């Protein structure tokens, strides 16, 4: 019984003839094709897991860095605002007379230029302490202004300015005493 010809073979070669005709080059071609088929199947589960882990680590680190950056930015913005509030109040108090400065019931008020901004209105508190310096014959007082606030993460922060006020001005105190 004779073998049927191989479909699509040149000149109707039989299987035995085709193997002889193609010879040794058939085996390497099969192996190369098998390797390509294996690679074309995609990544292994281990490779996907490693890639996902690296991606998760990168995203997590980026989010943590952004949170710290926002906290630092918020703190810097609040420090600047607190400094402005205290400087504004000190400038107002420099215009006071000696009697007004020594008024222990005076309560400082945050200037409207700061309270107009909705992000700062009600967030900051301003307080004042007054100490009469006895070693200077009661002619000098120490004024301390303190601004307190909470950061967006809930931490309480405060900053203080301290200045001295002489009865006839600091110049008169230092050069006429």
Task: Identify the pLDDT of residue 152.
Answer: 84
Task: Identify the pLDDT of residue 16.
Answer: 55
Nearest Cα residue to 166 out of 127, 136, 135, 123: 136
Domains of the chain by residue range: 46-176
Segment 146-163, tens digit of pLDDT: 999 998 888 999 999 999
Segment 18-60, tens digit of pLDDT: 555 555 455 555 555 555 555 567 889 999 999 999 999 999 9
Handedness of CA 42, 44, 50, 52 (dihedral sign): positive
Instruction: Considering only the C-alpha atoms of the chain, give the largest distance between any 2 of them, rounded to a whole number of Å.
Output: 136
The CA distance from 11 to 20, in Å, is 14
With vertex at residue 133, the alpha carbon angle to CA 131 and CA 134, rounded to the nearest 5 degrees, is 130
Segment 93-114, tens digit of pLDDT: 988 888 999 888 899 999 988 8
Q: Mean pLDDT score of the chain, rounded to an integer?
A: 82
């Amino acid at each position: 019984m004779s073998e049927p010809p191989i479909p699509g073979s040149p000149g109707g070669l039989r299987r035995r003839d085709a193997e002889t005709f193609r010879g040794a080059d058939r085996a390497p071609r099969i192996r190369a094709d098998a390797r390509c088929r294996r690679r074309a199947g995609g990544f292994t589960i281990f490779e996907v897991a490693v890639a996902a882990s690296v991606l998760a680590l990168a995203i997590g680190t980026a989010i943590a860095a952004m949170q710290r950056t926002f906290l630092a930015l918020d703190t810097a913005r609040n420090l600047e605002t607190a400094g402005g509030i205290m400087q504004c109040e000190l400038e107002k108090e420099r215009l006071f007379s000696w009697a007004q400065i020594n008024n222990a019931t005076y309560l400082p008020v945050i200037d409207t230029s700061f309270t107009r901004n909705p992000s700062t209105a009600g967030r900051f508190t301003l307080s004042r302490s007054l100490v009469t310096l006895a070693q200077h014959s009661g002619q000098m007082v120490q004024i301390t202004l303190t601004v307190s606030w909470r950061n967006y993460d809930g931490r309480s922060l405060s900053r203080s300015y301290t200045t001295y006020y002489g009865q006839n001005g600091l110049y008169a105190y230092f050069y006429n005493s």
